[in-house]
Amino acid sequence: MKKISKFIDFVNEKYNEEPEYRIKVFFTELEKNIRQWFVNGAFSTNNTILVSVTRALTNSIEKNLIFDFTDDEYYYQVYVIISLPDVEEEELDDCFVKVKKYDKDEISLLRSLGEDVPVKELNEDTIIELFARLDEESDTLNLKTGDVTLDDEDTDLENTDIE
C-alpha cells in the first residue's frame, strides 16, 4: 500500500508542476469566481447579465479566458491572457487583462484598455476598476459619441480567432 501511495504522489507531483496544468487550474477557479460575481457579487447588483465564459487552452503559447456580459446600455468583453513562457516554475505571477466596451445596439467598439495584473489581485474589484479607468480616460478626451477612444490593436498575447 505504501508503494502505491508513493507512486500516486510521484504522478501528482509531476503533473502539478506543469505550467499548463497550473493555468488550467487557475482558469477553472477564475471561471467559478466569475459566475459567482454575477450571482452574488457587485455585477449582480448592477443589472448585468453574464453572456458567456470561454477558455482557449489549445494555443501552444498563450492561454486565455474570455467572458462577455451586458447591461442596459453596453456589451463588455474581458480577456485574461497568460503567456506560457512567462509562467514561473512555482506559481503564476502575472496575467494580461484586456477590457473592451461596445455599443450594445450597434455592436461597435467604443473603448479598450489592457494591462498586466498580478494573478493574486485578479478579482471582481480589479475588473470594475479597469472599466472605471477606461471610462475615466475616455471622459478626458472629449470625443463624440461612438468614437473609438483607445487603440484596439491586438496584442501578441490575444487570440483573435475567438469571438
63: domain range?
Answer: 2-139
pTM here is 0.77
At 46 the pLDDT is 81
Residue 104 forms part of a structural domain: yes
Residue 118 forms part of a structural domain: yes
Predicted confidence band at 13 (pLDDT cuts at 50, 70, 90)?
low
Number of domains in the chain: 1
Summarised one tens digit per residue, pLDDT across range 33-85 is 999 999 999 999 888 999 999 998 776 789 999 999 999 999 999 999 999 88
Nearest to 156 by CA among 52, 76, 54, 84: 84
- Say if residue 119's pLDDT is above 70: yes
Q: Which residues contact 28 (CB under 8 A, 6 or more apart)?
A: none
At 157 the pLDDT is 46
CA distance 38 to 36: 5
Residue 8 forms part of a structural domain: yes
Terminus-to-terminus CA distance in the chain, angstroms?
50
Nearest to 127 by CA among 62, 36, 25, 24: 36
